[in-house]
Amino acid sequence: MEYKDGLSITAAEPWFKVKVQVITRYVQSFIGHVAGRAGEIIVVDLCAGSGLYSHGHQKEVFPGAAFTLMAEQWPISQWIFCEPDPTQAHALRSRLAGRFRDRNTTVLDCDPTEAVEALQAVLPKNIRGGKVAVVCLVDPFSFRVPFATIDKLAALNFSFIMPFIWPLNDRMNYSYYNDEHAATLKRFLGVGDLHRLATTSSNAQFYKHIVRLYQTNMLMLGLNTALSAHPVGLPDGRQGSLLMQVPAYYVGFFSRKYSTKVIQHSVYSSDQTELF
C-alpha cells in the first residue's frame, strides 16, 4: 500500500520496523487467546503518532502496528488512538479516513496524562466485565506515560504491550536522566525515590534497573507479567542504533485477566536475546 501522502510521518531508525513486527505479533497472539472468551476486542494506541514511520529521509515509509493490523482481517470491534500533537493527529485522521473508513475508529486529542477520562467516554460501559478485552499499545519512545495512568487503565482491565525503549546513548545517558529528569523518571516508574537508579554506573545497568522496577510495580498492581528481549538493530546484525545504544531491548506484556506466558509463547522467535 502506498503511504506517501505529504502528511506528517514519524522519523525512525531501521530497527523500528522489526519492533513494529514484534508488537504486531503480540497483538495477534492476544487476539487468538481471547477471541473465544470475549464478546468484544478493542485496541487502544496510547501514543499513536501519525500511524506511519519512515527512515532514510522517507526513502522507506512503513506502517505502525495498528495500521499493519487494520490492513488485515482481525476481529477488532473498535480502534482508539490517542495523539495530542495537532499535526500528527491531523495526519492520523486523514489516513484513517482515506484507508480504513470501514473500521470503527476514534482519535482522541489527549495526552497520556489525560487519557483515562477521555477513554472512558468512548469505551463500552461494561468495560470492567468479562465480555470486553482491551489491549493497549504503549510505545512513546520516551518516559512520558506516567505509571499513574497505567494504574488507572489496569483498574479497567486493560492489558498492555509496552516496548521499553527511549533515547539512551552517550549524550542522553544514565547520568543525564538521573540528574536532569529525576521527576519524570519517578512519574514513569511510580516510585518516590530513585535510589537504585542513582547508584547505576552504565547505560546497560540503568536500563536493567528500570525494566526490573517497572515489572515489580506491575506485579504489585496484581498484573501478570512477561518480558521478551529483542536486538536493537536488524536481524542480520547490521545497522544498530544511534538513539538507543544497548544490545537489546525488552517488550513487556502485562495483564490482570489473561495469561501473559501463553500469549507471549507465540511471540518467541529466533531473534530472542537474553539480556538479564
CATH code, domain with 140: 3.40.50.150
Does 248 map to a domain? yes
Q: Side chain identity at 63, as an amino acid letter?
A: P
Q: What pLDDT score does 129 carry?
A: 67
User: What's the domain range around 80?
Assistant: 10-166+205-265
Mean pLDDT along residues 195-210: 94
Q: What pLDDT score does 266 carry?
A: 75
CA distance 243 to 169: 6
pLDDT at residue 2 above 80?
no
Q: What pLDDT score does 234 carry?
A: 64
pLDDT, tens only, 121-147: 999 987 776 689 999 999 999 999 999
Does 195 map to a domain? no
**pLDDT band per the 50, 70, 90 thresholds, residue 240:** confident
> How many residues make up the chain in this entry?
276
Mean pLDDT along residues 63-79: 96
Q: What pLDDT score does 241 carry?
A: 86
pTM: 0.93
Contacts of 223 (CB under 8 A, 6+ apart): 154, 254, 255, 256
pLDDT, tens only, 91-122: 999 999 999 999 999 999 999 989 999 999 99
Does 189 map to a domain? no
Residue 25 corresponds to which cell in the numbers above? 505479533
Q: 109, 135 in Cβ contact below 8 A? A: no
What does the chain look like in DSSP terms, one character per residue? -----SS--EE--THHHHHHHHHHHHHHHHHHHHTTT-SEEEEEETT-TTSEEEETTTTEEEE-HHHHHHTS----SEEEEE---HHHHHHHHHHHHHH-TTS-EEEE---GGGHHHHHHHHS-TTTTSTTEEEEEE---SSS-S-HHHHHHHHTTTEEEEEE----BSSSS-HHHHHHH-HHHHHHHHT-S--HHHHT--SHHHHHHHHHHHHHHHHHHTT-EEEEEEEESS-TTS----SSB-SSEEEEEEEESSS-HHHHHHTT--TT-----
Residue 85 corresponds to which cell in the numbers above? 500533537
Residue 87 Rama label (left phi>0; alpha psi -120 to 50; beta) = alpha
**pLDDT band per the 50, 70, 90 thresholds, residue 271:** very low
Does 19 map to a domain? yes
Does 272 map to a domain? no
* Strand 78-82 versus strand 158-163 pairing type: unpaired
- Round the average pLDDT of the chain to a whole number and report it: 91
- How many domains, the chain? 1
* Strand 10-11 versus strand 52-55 pairing type: parallel
Q: 158, 235 in Cβ contact below 8 A? A: no
Does 274 map to a domain? no
